[in-house]
Structure 1
Amino acid sequence: MTTPPRAAATRAAAISESVRMGRNSARAETEAALARIAAGNPALNAFVSVDEAAALAGADAVDRRLATGETLPLAGVPVAVKDTIWVAGRRVTQGSRLFADFHAPADAIAVERLRAAGAVIVGMTNSSEFACKGVTTNPLFGPTRHPQDPSLTPGGSSGGPAVAVAAGLVPLALGTDAGGSSRRPPAHVGVVGFKPSFGAIPYGPGYAEPFTGIAVMAPIAADVADAALMFKALCGPDPRDPESVAVAPADTLPPKSLTVAYSPRLGLDAPIDEDVRQAVEQAVDTLERAGVRIVRRDPSWPAGVTETALMPLQHAGLAALYGDAFRRDPARFDPDIAMQIERGLTLTGPEVAAAQLLGVKVARALAAFFTDIDLLIGPTAPCVAWPLDRLGPETIGGQAVPPRAHAVFTPLFNHAKVPALSLPCGTGRAGLPVGLQVIAPRGQDRRVLRFAAFIETLLAAGGRGLAG
């Protein structure tokens, strides 16, 4: 087992301050990131393309803007972008042979805002095909490997962005999350993944989403402060995205004044590995010893709710977008994605409508739960990382499970459209990271970030004497 070559100097806040204060330059930071990628990426396959000339040109533009007196909150910070998000002029493939030669005609609004804040886009990072699979591999680029053990997967679909941050190649990455894609991989590799409220960060222009109405742009960072810094640069409505919304201002309530519900399985009848359960319980115990008001309470979900019951939406979306291409040449697709498209082509209208209605019930059930609860915490995933050649672990909690059992604790929060963040809370077997998930009502994104920062500081201090 190897240790990720993460360097403390690569934190985004420190880079931005150094560049803004003139102690370093955006070009120097970009050159350093490009060198780290060249050295570390071959063993990881986190990046699928890097445009050095474009990155350096972007860095030089940042240095010129600073020289004219601009204030740039992400000045010179190298950022990786998931290979499903449009970056103008860059090859953006969705990990699909259908788009192997596609170059984006425009920036996504989130990328545009990264550039406006002074960030430098250094490259595109790996994803499963169409971001519709729980591991990061695809027909074009193959698998992304876990930075602590190359025989393991980081999960998916945002495994490339998560590994790029965990391995210290870049301090920030932009992923997407329609079912946990930017929370589970960060949990598996020991970084922070933040799924904002639906609409908090404008979406598009870009590829159509198979899972409409729940997908979000998701900051991935080495710590909560950097995730919050990135979110601040990206959030806020834009008229080009009619579903974009404003979120609540900074939450001034002290963390210890909040009522925090802890649900060991997030209200679901799902197995969890003992090492993960223990790591999460220890973190919750630390919060209680520090004076946080914890109540044991499970969300009450609608009858029959499972990820399987909601998956017709993804399958139908894939079939609508790519069904014709699949009929012409099924071999062009990842076999696992082909199975989803094939399933989508067989669904009836009532089956798809039933899944849509269930998603609405999920959102209403969680909104009711939050009427007297400020935050919900629980595990991000029920297991640590598993072997690279499998869609999921064969057993969880001592039970034989289907391939998607590792994903059970994240998707409902997408359908509820609420903010949810995963942060490291300890380790399980073989020292592999475990993630704790923090969830709040829709629009309370800054409450999630503030409380997650409190948890992070508390765990780093061993739970000793923090006020708040």
Structure 2
Amino acid sequence: MTKPDNSAREIAADVAAGRTSAVEIASAALGRIEAAKSLNAVVTTDPSRTLADAAAVDDRLRAGNAMPLAGVPIVVKDNIWTGGWRVTQGSRLFADFVAPQDAIAIERLRKAGAVVVGMGATSEFASKGVTTSPLFGPTRHPLDPTLTPGGSSGGPATAVAAGLVPLAIGTDAGGSSRRPPAHVGVAGFKPSYGAIPYGPGFAEPFFGLSVIAPIATEVADIALAFEAMADVDPRDPDSAGIAQTADDPAGLRIAFSPRLGLDVAVDEVVAEGIASAVARLAATGLCITQRDPVWPAGATEDAIMPLQHAGLAALHGDTFRRDPAAFDPDIAGQIKRGLSWSGADVAGALVASAAIANAFAAFFTDTDLLLAPTVPCVSWPFTQLGPDTIGGRTASPRAHAVFTSFVNHARLPAISIPCGVDGNGLPFGLQIIARRGQDRTLLRAARQIEAQLQA
């Protein structure tokens, strides 16, 4: 498999300078995708459309247009509307759906010169912690094909980690674009809720939580993509402005929480790797103190999961009643549970969600950044929903996801960057979390932390 030699920034510079063309870059990316079919990271390609779009970018450059992402090939998660492309959500129900228009984020990326080269695999309705679907089967880890990259943005994350493209676009409603990057050794950014407009697109089961999330090998490429996509748009009533400036990391108050203040298991190699990375950062002069968020009683992922189940049931419950076999069995189980929740159950989950957001808000009154694990373990067999054990304890199917979903409920920005590997070379990630609206400060700090960890 031939990997791209350049970052998204370098590709854009080369295309803009005429050292190569968008068509040449797109053709090479399509060749890498074809050669890596066994990974099942990219589930739909349309070479003629891709090459026509690339040619249009070259024409725009010749006409004098400046584009910060000129010719950069991107993979888009298979639940984000990309006009003219088949977008399936990994579901048999949408196997033939063709998006009638671009989501605002994709529209902006194309305006910036990016070229869509494929749709990245997702679990059905992006609602599962491994990337496998009834339509396309399992996506495999680029370092070990017997393992999963996690989910639900496993296709985009794997496409970047395998070198198929330098940049991919996922979604994140509970960690879907932070955990897979952590498992495959790349970076994944969850912006503040509303920082990047969401939609037009499919109805969302994750009400008020899901965001568009760039994934790349370098934080600088994530920042470039974020700047192309961010800003208010009247078509999305939840889109919101964020701070325009980025504070110097040297002056930030940084906390480290080894388990995010939760009574959860973490594999020893991950715990030691995270602690070692934080110690290295502190040695560079960053002001880091160990401190945990204080959560309300009963704050667990189980307390908020009724929102996902009820959302799926609201959207697909009627179809499930008619034909439950149409769904991934794990998704069918979630829909069935969603149909069983009472209104009081769902309201209770909303109360829990608000309490989690308030706890995070209190934490960030005197803290600027929070360092924590992205995942408590490395990847596991793709045939399982989660690892059998974590930290020596028997693990529930969602125990691998304990460190990410609270961030979504607080609508905060967070990024995962590579932090270390276990004895088999399997990666894990460091999660950096900031106050809502401080996306640019977070990205600036993440670039510095990335450089220090790579030194």
TM-score, normalised by the number of residues in structure 2: 0.99
Residue 235 (structure 1) aligned with residue 235 (structure 2) = no
For the residues of structure 2 that align with 1:71 and 1:208, how far apart are their CA atoms? 34
Q: How does 1:1-400 map to 2 (within 5 A)?
A: 7=3, 9-40=5-36, 42-253=37-248, 255-400=249-394
CA deviation after TM superposition for structure 1 residue 256, in Å: 2.1
Q: Which amino acid aligns with 1:402?
A: S
Contact 2:4-2:165 within 8 A present in 1 as well: no
CA deviation after TM superposition for structure 1 residue 250, in Å: 2.6
For the residues of structure 2 that align with 1:359 and 1:228, how far apart are their CA atoms? 29
Of all paired residues, the percent bearing the same amino acid is 63
Q: What whole-Å deviation, never above 9, does each CA across 1:226-254 have from its counterpart, x for those lacking one?
A: 0000001000010000000111113132x
Q: Which amino acid aligns with 1:29?
A: I
Q: What whole-Å deviation, never above 9, does each CA across 1:349-402 have from its counterpart, x for those lacking one?
A: 010001011111111110110011010001000000011111000100000011
Tell me the equivalent position of 1:422: 416
CA deviation after TM superposition for structure 1 residue 316, in Å: 0.3
Tell me the equivalent position of 2:402: 408
CA deviation after TM superposition for structure 1 residue 278, in Å: 1.1
Q: What whole-Å deviation, never above 9, does each CA across 1:171-193 have from its counterpart, x for those lacking one?
A: 11010000000000000000000
Contact 1:6-1:166 within 8 A present in 2 as well: no
Structure 1 ranges of 4+ moved more than 6 A: none
For the residues of structure 2 that align with 1:206 and 1:10, how far apart are their CA atoms? 32
Contact 1:157-1:182 within 8 A present in 2 as well: yes
Secondary structure of 1:429 counterpart:
coil
Contact 1:6-1:167 within 8 A present in 2 as well: no
Q: What whole-Å deviation, never above 9, does each CA across 1:440-462 have from its counterpart, x for those lacking one?
A: 0000001111111111111111x
Give the CA RMSD over aligned residues: 0.8
Q: What whole-Å deviation, never above 9, does each CA across 1:33-85 have from its counterpart, x for those lacking one?
A: 11111112x22000100000000000000001011111100000000000000
Answer with 437-446 or 7-16: which moved more: 7-16
CA deviation after TM superposition for structure 1 residue 6, in Å: 7.1
Aligned length: 455
CA deviation after TM superposition for structure 1 residue 7, in Å: 3.5
TM-score, normalised by the number of residues in structure 1: 0.96
CA deviation after TM superposition for structure 1 residue 115, in Å: 0.4
Q: Give the unaligned 5+ runs of structure 2.
A: none
For the residues of structure 1 that align with 2:371 and 2:443, how far apart are their CA atoms? 13
For the residues of structure 1 that align with 2:291 and 2:334, how far apart are their CA atoms? 35
Contact 1:10-1:170 within 8 A present in 2 as well: no
For the residues of structure 2 that align with 1:455 and 1:6, how far apart are their CA atoms? 29
For the residues of structure 2 that align with 1:418 and 1:231, how far apart are their CA atoms? 15
For the residues of structure 1 that align with 2:310 and 2:329, how far apart are their CA atoms? 17
Contact 2:4-2:166 within 8 A present in 1 as well: no
Q: Give the unaligned 5+ runs of structure 1.
A: 462-468
Change (3 A) 1:269 1:237: same
Tell me the equivalent position of 1:445: 439
For the residues of structure 2 that align with 1:279 and 1:243, how far apart are their CA atoms? 38
Contact 2:4-2:164 within 8 A present in 1 as well: no
Contact 1:10-1:168 within 8 A present in 2 as well: no
Contact 1:137-1:143 within 8 A present in 2 as well: yes
Q: Which amino acid aligns with 2:207?
A: T
Q: Which amino acid aligns with 1:453?
A: R
Q: Which amino acid aligns with 1:52?
A: P
